[in-house]
Structure 1
Amino acid sequence: MSNENVLLKVEGVGKQFEGNRVLKDINFSLAKGKILGLVGENGAGKSTLMRILFGMNVIAETGGYEGEIYLDNEKINFKSPLDALKAGIGMVHQEFSLIPGFTTTENILLNMEKTKPNVISRILGKRLEMIDMGAMKKSAQNAIETLGVQLDPDTLVSEMPVGHKQFIEIAREIDREKVKLLVLDEPTAVLTESEAEILLKSMRRLADMGVSIIFISHRLHEITSVCDTIVVLRDGVIVVERPVEGVHVRQIAEWMVGRDVEGKKAEYEKVVDVTDSNKDIILEVKNLWVDMPGETVKDVSFKVKRGEIFGIGGLAGQGKLGIPNGIMGLFPSDGEVLFNEKPLPLNATLNALKSGLAFVSEDRRGVGLLLDEPIDWNIAFNAMQVQDKFIKRLLGGLIKWRDDKAMKDCAQGYIKALEIKCTSEKQRTRQLSGGNQQKVCLAKAFALEPSLLFVSEPTRGIDVGAKKLVLDALRRYNEENNTTIVMVSSELEELRSICNRIAIISEGRVSGILPPGAEAAEFGLLMSGEYHLSEEGETR
């Protein structure tokens, strides 16, 4: 590859946090107009590498990095993301950075607003120009059309499904002037299959226009279908850099984890038998309605047996995420919920937690974690607040103080059990990779020792190795504690690998409930709304 054709060159880059080496001697290059697939298990160093490239503040605050990076044959060392943006690098992070009260247009043009002069600005300067909404809508529409999606420029972000929000994030980056390099961090994790296909085509279109792309994804078939080259990170070191042509998904998985995954795969796809029909009912939901933007629940009824793992699946935007969020009181809801044969008041989160329910949200940053607090605080906090755990008492409880040793012991136990990659239980949760943050969310829920645990998208953004570990942890917790688990997931095979029964949600209602061993076509028909089944499996 000639230097003229190379856009990005990384030479000998390394990074450590508080003595923990996360990157070592990273070397690779990316040509202009090409797509590079960056893969690796959670904690492999992908996010740190991208933070270095994008000039994130945390890198400079922790001592900078070793090595050199060249963009268009010029050495770069950005001190802030603003420097990276000015140089032509755009980045779409896993977590959204949109303003809910702004429209599609306003979010796409945020900090890049189009203005027009007026009488005052002609005298006092450009800063007093008026917003040119016509020009802004035109610019936003051009970016939307480049992506090939249908988005209303005037719709508020707060009223959109999560997939549309992801497209707005990407549209904002490609609308910037002189964008040369686009970094996409798990952009398809929240998209349906059809939306993901649109995005992959958009990426190819952008590459043909001369924009280089670094594409991070745990959906390995996307890497093989759209990328020109692949870089595999394992434990902070590049183990493979090569063209994608001729590479198979299983090869990539083996490179990522450093072992043969065939045996693991067979265990992961093991079908679970349906639970004993004589088991009593721990949760009964009747005519549930939930007003969750983009995931509205219209009329949902189902029963969950004590000790089972009950799955809830369906396409994005059909209402599956609204069910646990509504029952746990995070969004307005109505209907009837019986827990242990007693009415469970809706719109009352604290009451749900005190009743023996727990929830691992799909929004780990917004709902699940205290990002600026250490791991032990995150794991213990809910149990401390709701159940008075990790509290020492004196004089019959008149004097109380925090039991730091109990918190430490609890955190260390879960760090070991869930293989959370961290420097210690005192590391700030914000510094963990996405997958390890998700494991902390699980540990926080386990610490409550709930009778029933709602888990929503537990493996979103988690690699093939960590995914199995999380699913095994849920299965083991269910078996050892007889804890009932209601698991919501967009991954049908994931549900089939662990659940006793699976309810499919379509248009805010239960289309049917099937055993995991049912034909994939039956699940597909339920998702498409082609037909509906009663809980007994009869067509209706």
Structure 2
Amino acid sequence: MVKIFDRGIKGSDIMQKELLRMSGVSKSFGENTVLKDINFTIKEGEIVGLVGENGAGKSTLMKIIFGMSLIEETGGYNGEMIFQGKKVHFKSSFDALNAGIGMVHQEFSLIPGFKASENIVLNRESLKKSFVKEIFGERISKIDFEKDRERAKVAISHLGVDLNVDTKVNEMPVAHMQFTEIAREIERENVRLLVLDEPTAVLTEKEAEILLKTMKRLASEGIAIIFITHRLNEIMDVSDRIIVLRDGIMMSELETSETNVDEITKLMIGREIGEKTKKEEKKESNPEIILEMKKLWVDMPGEKAKNINLKVQKGEIIGLGGMAGQGKVGIANGVMGLYPAGGEVIYKNEKINLNNPKIPLEKGMYFVSEDRKEVGLILEEKISMNIAYPSIYIKNKFLKERYFGLLKSIDEKEIDKNSQHYIEKLEIKCMSGSQRVGELSGGNQQKVCLAKAFTINPDILFISEPTRGIDIGAKKIVLETLKEYNRNSGMTIILTSSELEELRSVCDRIAIVTEGEIAGILSPEDDLLEFGKLMTGVKGDKNE
């Protein structure tokens, strides 16, 4: 089997022939037009950045290129797609894969109980040679697991990460799941175009840097890459050209060397993102402690917390940062009862029982998980009910009395009014509050999760990766809304994020989690070098 990374093609040897051409491509879902007359080309060995706000049409365009069934099921699309000189119209993703197009989706598509090696070679396993196979055919062939392990090792080594091929997916940190997805695609022998949809959204800055280097190496070997991300600095670092979408229209196609982040931002959102406002100082001589964790451990696969000691001040925004797999994500999951946990958690001077999700909810805590589809949303239900459900069942909101108070029924009018408020406030791109959540883009689904939290208005909000997959304009809205609820409602917020700059922009203090412990707590104004030391195991003062 010939691997792409064995071809020995140098960037200078590539005659950049046209690989993909999209001509006059348009797509509608019912009366909602999401793409309008899209025209562009991609050459071999070229990295093209695709940017736009959530709902701009990026995901739909990629679904067309990758032949996803939703496109055909909703009436197909108009226009032409030409790949490697031939007009194509993929009916399924298998057609795209067979043609040489691979895609790493924003939402993972790995099998949790399978090892990394098994996921990487899935449906392309190596088979052992035997005389029985020669007589009876492929159906009784045996898989050559050792050869598959070696193939997986080669693919992973090409990414420059330390990932054991025998690790099961459900035991991996999120970053390693992402690298496994990418390794699976580059292991295919015929891949010519690779689509990466928000591949760095769950990665730390260091992990993202490794991935960007890998992308450049793949491009030098002749692989074209469509790179979708909301981190514009990454687009500037790695891409050759940038395509900007806004409201389904291709606003511009720019040479990366001839543009800048400000120009791209204006094209994306039609308005300028203001400078980061200086954080308001919140200094109290004797702050009230609303939540304390003592020797907290959490048994969350890939994110085990071992010995967390942390005091949270009432009314603050405290950040939890650190490298992937070090335990920061496990903290909220453990306190909220989603994974086995031990130690002590004291809330408002009362020790709470762990391992029961009902208890923290009833006491005034709420959690917006990093896993919005599995934990956060009912995809088949409409937006308005998704936003209202927690408040109905935890706080008895949106209920009206009937028959002199003997019965209560759901107040759909208030539910619709509430959802419309958050659709406008968070700029959720949808047709109405009656639209199914599963039909929204990933970033807009994330906004629905946030609307649920703001509606219930808890005393303490745990929120993990709140801007994952969200564009630069929406990110500003989300972070400003978090600050607004913190200031106006006195909501205490415990914010977990892989993006250090995000934490520094909104948090009063930032706790860095390393090897399952709080390595130290810093001010957002502290030097980046100090954050780096804590993340890499150089421990500072464990200020609580």
Same fold per superposition (TM over 0.5) = yes
The alpha carbon displacement at 1:233 in A equals 1.0
Aligned counterpart for 1:383 among listed residues 361, 377, 391: 391
Q: Give the residue type in structure 1 aligned to 2:536.
A: S
The alpha carbon displacement at 1:225 in A equals 1.6
TM-superposition CA deviations, 1:179-205 (whole Å, max 9, x none)? 111100011112222322221122122
* Corresponding residue for residue 272 of structure 1: 280
Choose 116-125 or 400-409, whichever is displaced more: 116-125
The alpha carbon displacement at 1:120 in A equals 5.0
Q: How far apart in 1 are the matches of 2:487 and 2:471?
A: 24
Q: Contact 1:350/1:386 (CA < 8 Å) preserved in 2?
A: no
Q: How far apart in 1 are the matches of 2:364 and 2:430?
A: 30
Counterpart check, 1:162 vs 2:170 = no
Q: 1:207 to 1:4 in 2, by over 3 A?
A: closer
Aligned counterpart for 2:504 among listed residues 489, 496, 502: 496
Task: Please give the root-mean-square deviation of Cα atoms over the aligned residues, in Å.
Answer: 2.0
The alpha carbon displacement at 1:523 in A equals 2.5
Normalization by structure 1: what TM-score?
A: 0.94
Aligned counterpart for 1:426 among listed residues 424, 428, 434: 434
Aligned counterpart for 1:197 among listed residues 200, 203, 209: 209
Q: How far apart in 1 are the matches of 2:385 and 2:212?
A: 40
Task: Name structure 1 gaps, 5 residues minimum.
Answer: none
Aligned counterpart for 1:369 among listed residues 358, 377, 382: 377
Aligned counterpart for 1:242 among listed residues 248, 254, 278: 254
* Corresponding residue for residue 106 of structure 1: 118
Aligned positions, number = 531
Counterpart check, 1:79 vs 2:87 = no
* Corresponding residue for residue 484 of structure 1: 492
Q: 1:319 to 1:245 in 2, by over 3 A?
A: same
* Corresponding residue for residue 405 of structure 1: 413
Choose 392-401 or 503-512, whichever is displaced more: 392-401
* Corresponding residue for residue 306 of structure 1: 314
Counterpart check, 1:445 vs 2:453 = yes
* Corresponding residue for residue 517 of structure 2: 509
Aligned counterpart for 1:94 among listed residues 106, 113, 132: 106
Q: Give the residue type in structure 2 aligned to 1:486.
A: I
Q: How far apart in 2 are the matches of 1:275 and 1:21?
A: 50
Q: Give the residue type in structure 2 aligned to 1:27.
A: N
Counterpart check, 1:360 vs 2:368 = yes
Q: Contact 1:271/1:496 (CA < 8 Å) preserved in 2?
A: no
The alpha carbon displacement at 1:399 in A equals 3.8
Q: How far apart in 2 are the matches of 1:28 and 1:212?
A: 14
Secondary structure at the counterpart of residue 353 of structure 2:
coil
Q: How far apart in 1 are the matches of 2:532 and 2:330?
A: 21
Q: How far apart in 1 are the matches of 2:403 and 2:493?
A: 39
Counterpart check, 1:136 vs 2:148 = yes
Q: Contact 2:322/2:535 (CA < 8 Å) preserved in 1?
A: yes
Normalization by structure 2: what TM-score?
A: 0.93
Q: How far apart in 2 are the matches of 1:277 and 1:379?
A: 38
TM-superposition CA deviations, 1:337-377 (whole Å, max 9, x none)? 11111112111111111111111111112211112221112
Q: How far apart in 1 are the matches of 2:23 and 2:442?
A: 26
The alpha carbon displacement at 1:312 in A equals 1.6
Q: How far apart in 1 are the matches of 2:64 and 2:448?
A: 25
The alpha carbon displacement at 1:259 in A equals 2.6
TM-superposition CA deviations, 1:467-495 (whole Å, max 9, x none)? 10000111111222111111111222222
The alpha carbon displacement at 1:221 in A equals 1.7
Secondary structure at the counterpart of residue 19 of structure 2:
strand
Q: How far apart in 1 are the matches of 2:529 and 2:103?
A: 38
Secondary structure at the counterpart of residue 50 of structure 1:
helix
Counterpart check, 1:351 vs 2:363 = no
Q: Give the residue type in structure 2 aligned to 1:280.
A: E
Q: Contact 1:383/1:448 (CA < 8 Å) preserved in 2?
A: yes
Aligned counterpart for 2:475 among listed residues 467, 475, 481: 467
Q: Contact 2:203/2:498 (CA < 8 Å) preserved in 1?
A: no
Q: Identity rate of aligned residues, in percent? A: 55
Choose 170-179 or 122-131, whichever is displaced more: 122-131
Q: Give the residue type in structure 2 aligned to 1:417.
A: K
Secondary structure at the counterpart of residue 321 of structure 1:
helix
Q: 1:308 to 1:112 in 2, by over 3 A?
A: same
Q: How far apart in 1 are the matches of 2:333 and 2:512?
A: 17
Q: How far apart in 2 are the matches of 1:33 and 1:77?
A: 23
Secondary structure at the counterpart of residue 328 of structure 2:
coil
* Corresponding residue for residue 337 of structure 1: 345
Q: Contact 1:314/1:527 (CA < 8 Å) preserved in 2?
A: yes
Q: How far apart in 2 are the matches of 1:522 and 1:290?
A: 26
Q: 1:89 to 1:206 in 2, by over 3 A?
A: same
Q: How far apart in 2 are the matches of 1:103 and 1:279?
A: 47
Q: Give the residue type in structure 2 aligned to 1:266.
A: K
* Corresponding residue for residue 36 of structure 1: 48
Q: Contact 1:275/1:308 (CA < 8 Å) preserved in 2?
A: no
The alpha carbon displacement at 1:209 in A equals 1.6
Secondary structure at the counterpart of residue 272 of structure 1:
coil
Q: Which runs of 4+ in 1 moved over 6 A?
A: none
Q: Contact 1:117/1:126 (CA < 8 Å) preserved in 2?
A: no
Secondary structure at the counterpart of residue 147 of structure 1:
coil
Secondary structure at the counterpart of residue 227 of structure 2:
strand
